[in-house]
Structure 1
Amino acid sequence: MIWIIIIILITVIGLNYISEYAFKEVTLSERKDKAKMFEVIKETNGYREEEYDKLGFEKLCIKSKDEKSLIGYYLNRHKESKKLIIIIHGYTANHFRSAQYIDFFTKEGFNILLIDVRSHGDSEGIYATYGFKEEKDLQIWIEFMKNKLGNDCIIGLHGHSMGAATVANYSNKCNETVKFIIAEAPYSSGRKIIKHQFKMAKAPFFLLYPCVNFKIKKRCEFSLEDVNPINSVKESTIPIMFIHGDEDRTIPYKMSMDMYIAKKQGIKELYIVSGANHLNSYGKDVELYEEKIKYFLKRVFK
């Protein structure tokens, strides 16, 4: 009998240790710095660090509903333009990750807002919430920029990875100011992406997931079960373009395909980038990437 109790105790302690490690990987992985981000995008036509530093971004700050200071960087290249693209990075990244898109969108007549999502970059916060609280933060940014630029401004959203899931999750809540969404490598649900990550790590999902999600509910005040971008997309009428690399091991490209199929109303586009992994859909073929987005924008603004 005593051996059974010992085995149970060891199992419980071991499971708690492993689930604690998994919780930290899911919500608290080491955030990347500026140098790392420019290293990541150096193979694209994105800005070099020294070029970026000369651009003259205006630093902006908002307060989230839970009183976190969130930071964004606004580039006003077209003084008379009402067109704005808000670019949202992914998990462990920061706003420098989005620098690679600056040239393209400014040439298309957009001013640019790069944001550091909560708990990343210069923004406050401890935990990533997989788009749950980030979506609410995005709404505050949109209202802030409407007040800054005027109610007649035209806003587009471009998200990558967790940022893509955030904009997809927001897609059924967009008001008339938001005209389109570009979601690059989004996941379709919180549960499914964690299941995929556990599978890649050869970790037992059915044992760990309830423990990890319990810790998330207790400490982060949300549940992975509440993160369902695919359900928002099903209800959305806003134009959405899904972009995904077919060699993405971090987030399976099937998730973008599933959301593309799920969207029944409004304009939609799907661009599967051959040979691209999670970090280089844009860099894999810059010219084709830009042509695909130009075509999408023509459909949106025709």
Structure 2
Amino acid sequence: MKKRSLFLGGFLSALGIGGLGYFITNTFLYLPKKDDELVRSREINALRLIQEEYDTLPKEEVTIPSPYGYHLNAVFATPHPHKKYMIFAHGVTENKLNSIKYMNLFIKKGFNAIIYDHRRHGASGGKTTSYGYYEKFDLKAVVDELIRREGEDVFFGIHGESMGAATMLLYGGCVEDRADFYIADCPYSDFGEQLAYRMSVELKMPVRFLLPLVNRTLKWREGYSLKELSPISVIQNIQKPVLFIHSMEDDYILPKMTEDLFHKKQGDKMLHLDFRGTHAQSYNEDPEKYDSVIQQFLDEVVAARTEGA
């Protein structure tokens, strides 16, 4: 009877621990998304989206097949006749409408643009958010479609915000370093570290000991591990220029993560932390400064590399 009680107690304990791992992974795999119309209204009210201008912009809605069996919804905006493009990767819970403000900035600089919805966001398919694991290959599918349309000689950069920035760095670091330059706005350097930090803030207790449990559950449920969501582990593989942007007031993803990425990145790079605002608000708080920093990067780093190639 004693052995039976011990076995039952161990079983119930394991069930509880397993349930905790399932609950934690469920929380971030199915993080509630913002409604498309909410994002549209927010951007319109903030004058970052002028609906009439967007409606008259030469563009095409494009459906791109993901290698994982669903489709990605993208918009190719082509106000310029040349082969010069920017691709924009939005953050978690957002959608491609949040990228329009960045798109407008680059269109004024002479770039055409591609905005698209990540898997499980906006009008794209996909069941879960994978924080860069599947998204990096979806980004490659977007790049492949651009090259199919414009040819191998197309010149393009990629801009990513938050999870989109981490996705972009994972794409450049472990899929292909195909873009001519990258702009990483408030990325996490390691999703496991970011998860531990957010849980400690929100649960008010040290929870790093839960990461092995979360890792095992994630591997069992989704087939990948936390260590595969670590831009800092692959950043050294990116040879093309990277501009790192972060606000020192960001307490959701700490700016130290961007500093760590910057220091580990080899070759051409630039770092700007002197922005105001909370997470992913650097542009919203000071669009003129954001524009100026990007122009400096294009003039001093990207152009110099291009001329020397």
TM-score by length of 2: 0.88
Please state how far the C-alpha of 1:212 moved relative to its aligned partner.
2.4
Q: Does 1:110 align with 2:111?
A: yes
- Residue 24 of structure 2: SS of its match in structure 1? helix
Please state how far the C-alpha of 1:208 moved relative to its aligned partner.
2.9
Q: Is the 8 A contact 1:44 1:282 kept in 2?
A: no
Partner of 1:290: 291
Partner of 2:96: 95
Q: Distance in 1 between matches of 2:51 and 2:129?
A: 26
Q: Is the 8 A contact 1:164 1:182 kept in 2?
A: yes
Q: Distance in 1 between matches of 2:261 and 2:177?
A: 22
Partner of 1:219: 221
Percent identity (aligned) = 30
Structure 2 counterparts to residues 82-231 of structure 1, below 5 A: 82-172=83-173, 178-202=179-203, 204-231=206-233
**What one-letter code is carried by the residue in structure 2 that aligns with 1:271?**
H
The change in CA–CA distance for 1:118 and 1:147 in structure 2 (over 3 A counts) is: same
Q: Is the 8 A contact 1:153 1:177 kept in 2?
A: no
Partner of 2:36: 34
Q: Does 51-60 or 63-72 show the bigger shift?
A: 51-60
The change in CA–CA distance for 1:191 and 1:279 in structure 2 (over 3 A counts) is: same
Q: Which has the higher contact order (CA 8 A, sep 6+)?
A: 1
Q: Does 81-90 or 39-48 show the bigger shift?
A: 39-48
Partner of 2:74: 72
Match of 1:246 among 245, 248, 269: 248
Q: Distance in 1 between matches of 2:47 and 2:262?
A: 28
Q: Is the 8 A contact 2:32 2:93 kept in 1?
A: yes
Partner of 2:307: none
Q: Does 224-233 or 83-92 show the bigger shift?
A: 224-233
The change in CA–CA distance for 1:60 and 1:207 in structure 2 (over 3 A counts) is: same
- Residue 290 of structure 1: SS of its match in structure 2? helix
Unaligned runs of 5+ in 1: none
Please state how far the C-alpha of 1:52 moved relative to its aligned partner.
3.4
Please state how far the C-alpha of 1:29 moved relative to its aligned partner.
1.0
**What one-letter code is carried by the residue in structure 2 that aligns with 1:166?**
T
Unaligned runs of 5+ in 2: 305-309
Please state how far the C-alpha of 1:176 moved relative to its aligned partner.
7.5
**What one-letter code is carried by the residue in structure 1 that aligns with 2:270?**
E
Q: Does 19-28 or 165-174 show the bigger shift?
A: 165-174
- Residue 246 of structure 2: SS of its match in structure 1? strand
Q: Distance in 2 between matches of 1:161 and 1:45?
A: 22
Q: Is the 8 A contact 2:177 2:239 kept in 1?
A: no
TM-score by length of 1: 0.90
| Number of equivalent positions | 300
Q: Is the 8 A contact 1:245 1:278 kept in 2?
A: yes
**What one-letter code is carried by the residue in structure 2 that aligns with 1:270?**
L
